[in-house]
């Protein structure tokens, strides 16, 4: 069976700060082409498909009807990431055992993080979020918080913010039980081969389909042959900004220029 693993689309509603970076229809076309060329039997969505930190699932579903309809029709497997962990549906991980007994394990990878992946971390996380929710009722705190989230989400910071060794370490632990591991989360495509008890193991990271890029891993589950798919697209699409939550005003300054005032 040929599988295609993709992750980290961060589908939003085409508002400011969204990082998907694709026209939804164009992405669907590319996905179909990748599936046809590689004779894909099963699509696996490896987490952070939806940007639920910022939007409601119904808003995202309305924005990406055709794409999500296609994925549903193809019975794509949906694994949850940290940005879509609050959904009722979805798996925490997915494991395929082939006819030779070899094990292919797929999970998003956020469990390697302290705040997402440990009991204490999650407890602290919940406490902080509750505190934050209360504090964000104060306008200035809310503004500062949104600015921090925006800074933290900036795509060029993502590979730096995730320490590769931490994930590699986590991957090596999982590879004691499995032969192939595919993770996402770091937005950085990686391929590592290693040996455990004299058998060759593989850790692959499927990168990210955001910022107008298409990253994916194609794997034949019987032979464990794999291929990385990397389509870099210049972001030339025209995106209609639906400013749902803000009004923008242009004010003329004293030097003939304009000052942009954004009101939340």
Which residues lie near Mn ion (CB under 5 A)? 48, 81-82, 110, 185
Q: How far is the CB of 47 from Mn ion (least distance, A)?
A: 6
Instruction: Answer whether 181's CB lies under 8 Å from 192's CB.
Output: no
Q: How far is the CB of 110 from Mn ion (least distance, A)?
A: 5
Rounded Cα gap, residues 207 and 228, in angstroms: 10
Nearer to Mn ion, 105 or 110 (CB): 110
Q: What is the dihedral of CA 161, 227, 98, 74, to 10 degrees?
A: 80
Three-class HEC string of 209-263: CCCCEEEEEEEECCCCCEEEEEEECCCCCCCCCCCCCCEEEEEECCCCCEEEEEE
Q: How far is the CB of 48 from Mn ion (least distance, A)?
A: 4
Q: How far is the CB of 84 from Mn ion (least distance, A)?
A: 9
**Residue for token pair 């991957």:** 171
State both tokens at 103: 């094990």
State both tokens at 235: 């972001």
Nearer to Mn ion, 90 or 242 (CB): 90
Nearer to Mn ion, 80 or 201 (CB): 80
Rounded Cα gap, residues 247 and 58, in angstroms: 23
> What residues does 194 pair with on adjacent strands?
201
Nearer to Mn ion, 34 or 79 (CB): 79
Nearer to Mn ion, 102 or 190 (CB): 190
Q: How far is the CB of 185 from Mn ion (least distance, A)?
A: 4
CA distances from 23 to 47, 155, 159 (A): 20, 18, 24
Q: How far is the CB of 82 from Mn ion (least distance, A)?
A: 4
Nearer to Mn ion, 113 or 179 (CB): 113
């Amino acid at each position: 069976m040929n599988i295609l693993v993709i992750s980290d689309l961060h589908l939003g509603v085409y508002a400011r700060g969204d990082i998907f970076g694709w026209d939804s229809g164009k992405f669907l076309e590319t996905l179909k082409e990748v599936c046809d060329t590689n004779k894909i039997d099963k699509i696996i969505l490896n987490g952070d498909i939806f940007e639920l930190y910022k939007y409601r699932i119904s808003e995202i579903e309305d924005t990406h009807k055709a794409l999500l309809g296609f994925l549903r029709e193809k019975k794509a497997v949906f694994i949850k990431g940290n940005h879509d962990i609050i959904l009722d549906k979805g798996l925490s991980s997915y494991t395929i055992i082939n006819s030779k007994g070899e094990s292919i394990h797929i999970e998003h990878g956020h469990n390697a993080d302290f705040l997402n992946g440990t009991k204490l971390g999650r407890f602290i996380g919940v406490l902080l979020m509750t505190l934050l929710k209360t504090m964000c009722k104060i306008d200035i705190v809310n503004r500062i918080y949104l600015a921090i989230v925006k800074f933290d989400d900036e795509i060029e910071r993502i590979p730096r913010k995730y320490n590769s060794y931490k994930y590699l370490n986590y991957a090596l632990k999982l590879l004691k039980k499995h032969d192939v591991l595919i993770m996402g989360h770091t937005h950085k495509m990686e391929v590592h081969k290693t040996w455990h008890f004299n058998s060759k193991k593989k850790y692959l990271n499927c990168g990210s389909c955001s910022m107008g890029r298409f990253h994916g891993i194609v794997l034949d589950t019987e032979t464990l042959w794999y291929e990385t798919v990397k389509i870099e697209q210049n972001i030339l699409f025209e995106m209609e900004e639906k400013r749902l939550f803000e009004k923008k005003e242009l004010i003329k300054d004293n030097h003939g220029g304009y000052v942009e005032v954004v009101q939340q």
